Structure 1
Amino acid sequence: MPRALRVARSGDTPTTDRNFAPGLAVGAHEGLRRPQRVDSDQLGESGPKNSILKRSNCTSVAAIRPPPRASHPLARITSLGSQGELWSPSVAVCHKGTGAPIRDLGMGAAGMADAPGVVALTGGRMTEGVVRVGNSVRRPAKESSEFVAALLKVFEHQGFDGAPRYHGQADGMDILSYRPGDVPARFQLWTDEQVAAAGRLLRSMHDATRGSELAGRSQIVCHRDAAPNNAVFVDGLDGLPVAFIDFDGASPGSPLEDLGYACWTWCVASKRGDQVERQADQVRILADAYGLQGPERGVLVDAIIEQQARNARFWAEVEASGTASAGPDAIAQSIVWSRRELAFVVANREVFEAALV
């Protein structure tokens, strides 16, 4: 889902500075921002629940001090290094120098974005009010917050380090660790090594949830959006993906659901239709790295097609809900693009299936 240049809604100024663009702290960046795009022709190709991360190095992060709530079940002391300290889930962000709590000044979660040392993560389509404070990311709590918190705790307990850590809540904000690295601003061609790394990362994530209470009767907990735009790369975008972010849509399911979606978003693009054999080969590489075998391997192409159809439905449901900041034209283009991708895979089904044999 290649993506064009994005613009933040605050001033509609294109963001191209690499020092600011590729690491927007969301979800782990958890709570990723969903930006608008300049190139409307490619708008649909930015993915279903995609996002762009922007990185900003904070040098004067606000001090974070708690009211006394030691009895709170989530209370803890967590070091954020030299950029600030998180003492408990109930915190007051204070102006550096004055010590005046921001919320006492009537700023609240919305006003926090204007406080010294607090970086507002703007330009979103799905989640408003996400900020970075030092080594943490703050995002408004949602209905999914409880499940996401439990999932991130499972990852931590199982030793899976390819996801952000959960540090509690404060004033209606989820607090998560910040994962340094780069998140692609647009989809592109990936090397075989990068595709294989994505497959291994996905398998490790799935294995961490097998048999867990969160998975319930399902095999695993699915990410539901394990695309390149939700992956953190180390050593620049020429490096390897080492973590996934933005677990808002996570829920119990089948590995094939995430695999079909990952194979599509990491390997397949209808606009490069003259490279179908190469795309099919990368689908095989991702499946091999994941360790997909047996009957499930035989229906992987079906899983890709299913996810493409679900993506079209997703955008239709978003529009019907009235909650999207993207306009009707943008959503319509996303639906058209998803259907075009589906038609491409269906038309070349034999090529993709032959590569998996």
Structure 2
Amino acid sequence: MGEEEIELTGGNASGSVVRVGDTVRKPWIDNTSVVQGYLGVLREHGVDAPAPLGRDGHGRHVVEYVEGTPALDRMPLGHGDLLRVGRMIRSTHDVSETVPIPDPGGWTMLLPAENPNLMCHNDVAPWNLIMGDRWVFIDWDGAGPSTRLWDLAYAAQSFGMLIDGQPVESAAMRLRAFVDGYGADDALRGALPAAMSKRTAAMFELLRYSSESGFQPWAEMYANGHGEHWRAAAAYVARNQAAWERALKRPE
């Protein structure tokens, strides 16, 4: 008799996802074989990513189940935690330099970066970070060709809680801690505020377009409040760009 399958909830775009023992099973899609190889390389080079475990008897993508609490449940993160998350993402990006990227022209990306040159997670955000005995980013199904800047812009905005209603000074301090943890150089720090604005606006536009076209699951997400959240977040990030620039500028 097989092990019990427990449905996992909380995701928005992965289809049916279940836990079976200490594994997660989800649909095998076109990019899954590349994603499993990518996870293997990250782990070989010291990045604590979920172990890729091939396919099961039902043809599903199998990865290690990671115990812990989503970072989303602990927001806002404190200074030390933000430093740690920034270091985690930097390590992932550095190792990813060793991974050949697929032809971007033949790879479907929801929010494509300009001139992609690096394999990235593409959804490094609090809902995909598990915090427990280990801190591990999960849900790598959207991994693909991107850039450090585009991937970091999304992570910085989400982990810094640069969202409508947050005091700008507090958000700027969280942003600074996260980027300090990453160890960004001056060029990346200078480019990040505008990239965050562009990336946040792109997320809203994806949801808005999906609502108009019926593109799922994004259309349903738009209707369930994600559209308004990202509309307000995009306006907030753009409106306070000067504050982000000041926070990220290193002393002369």
What TM bracket, shorter-length normalisation?
0.7 to 0.9
Unaligned runs of 5+ in 2: 104-114
Read off the aligned partner of 2:94 and give its amino acid letter: D
Structure number having the greater helix percentage: 2
State how far apart, in whole Å, the 2-side matches of 1:124 and 1:278 are: 28
Partner of 2:98: 211
Q: How far is 1:294 from its partner?
A: 2.3
Partner of 2:67: 180
Q: 1:119 aligned to 2:6?
A: yes
Conserved in 2, the CA contact under 8 Å of 1:222 and 1:257? Answer: no
Partner of 1:276: 168
Q: How far is 1:230 from its partner?
A: 0.3
Conserved in 1, the CA contact under 8 Å of 2:117 and 2:147? Answer: yes
Partner of 1:222: 120
Unaligned runs of 5+ in 1: 1-93, 96-115, 236-240
Structure with max Cα Rg: 1
Partner of 2:154: 261
State how far apart, in whole Å, the 2-side matches of 1:257 and 1:325 are: 20
TM-score normalised by length of structure 1:
0.60
Conserved in 2, the CA contact under 8 Å of 1:211 and 1:220? Answer: no
Q: How far is 1:124 from its partner?
A: 5.1
State how far apart, in whole Å, the 1-side matches of 2:192 and 2:10 are: 35
Identity of aligned residues (%): 29
Conserved in 2, the CA contact under 8 Å of 1:167 and 1:176? Answer: yes
Name the Cα RMSD after superposition: 2.4
TM-score normalised by length of structure 2:
0.84
State how far apart, in whole Å, the 2-side matches of 1:269 and 1:329 are: 19
Q: 1:349 aligned to 2:241?
A: yes
Conserved in 2, the CA contact under 8 Å of 1:152 and 1:165? Answer: yes
For residues 272 and 187 of structure 1, do their structure 2 counterparts lie closer, same or farther at Cα, with a shift above 3 Å needed? Answer: farther
Counterparts of 1:333-344 in structure 2 under 5 Å?
333-344=225-236
Read off the aligned partner of 1:201 and give its amino acid letter: M
Aligned residues: 236
Counterparts of 1:311-350 in structure 2 under 5 Å?
311-319=203-211, 320=213, 322-324=215-217, 327=220, 330=223, 333-350=225-242
State how far apart, in whole Å, the 1-side matches of 2:10 and 2:154 are: 25
State how far apart, in whole Å, the 2-side matches of 1:242 and 1:184 are: 9
State how far apart, in whole Å, the 2-side matches of 1:120 and 1:270 are: 31
